[in-house]
Amino acid sequence: MATRGNSIIKGVEIEEVINLLNRAYADEWLAYYQYYIESKVVKGIMKDAAIAELDQHAADELRHAGMVADRIIQLGGTPILHPKEWFEKTNCGYDAPTEFDVLKILEDAIKGEQCAIGVYSQIAELTQGKDIVTYDIVSQILADEVEHEEDLVALHEDITEFVDQIRGSLS
């Protein structure tokens, strides 16, 4: 543990931050897998655009997991070591895809991003002005999660509009 680096943390318990980060770490791994598997099973109109988006988000979630793990270690903690604990510690959960339709997959992904936004907003609020390093990391991740939500919503709207146009031209 970096004792000098941790000496700048004021007004928040390091163990509480480690616990919150480990829960976020679990979320990131589950989000990574959810995006990964959804990109493999998605079906329907404009699925190639959805696959590209899901693959990019999977890569981002994996990068986030690394950022969070590094910070946990800097704080003197240990990232969750066994994947089964991800399900015990997760904030956002994991919903295995049951419907492979592109719109349903995107709706599930949007729900996940909205949960992540809430989680990282909470950690940012807790660490703002108290733990600048953690605050900076979660702010970066939060910005990515907001962008992910925007990308997914826009793609969902584009596909919905396209399907509505096709239906309109058939009637």
The full set of domains in the chain, from first to last, is: 11-170 (1.20.1260.10)
**What is the per-residue pLDDT for 7?**
67
Can you state the angle between helices 47-74 and 14-41, rounded to 10 degrees? Answer: 160
Can you tell me the distance from the alpha carbon of 142 to that of 134, in angstroms, rounded to the nearest whole number?
12
Q: What is the CA radius of gyration of the chain?
A: 18
Q: How far is CA 99 from CA 15, 38, 56, 102, in A?
A: 39, 10, 21, 9
Tens digits of residue pLDDT in 146-169: 999 999 999 999 999 999 998 888
Assessment of whether the complete model's pTM goes beyond 0.85:
yes
Tens digits of residue pLDDT in 44-62: 999 999 999 999 999 999 9
Tens digits of residue pLDDT in 4-24: 566 679 999 999 999 999 999
Can you state the angle between helices 132-170 and 47-74, rounded to 10 degrees? Answer: 170
Tens digits of residue pLDDT in 83-111: 999 999 999 999 999 999 999 999 999 99
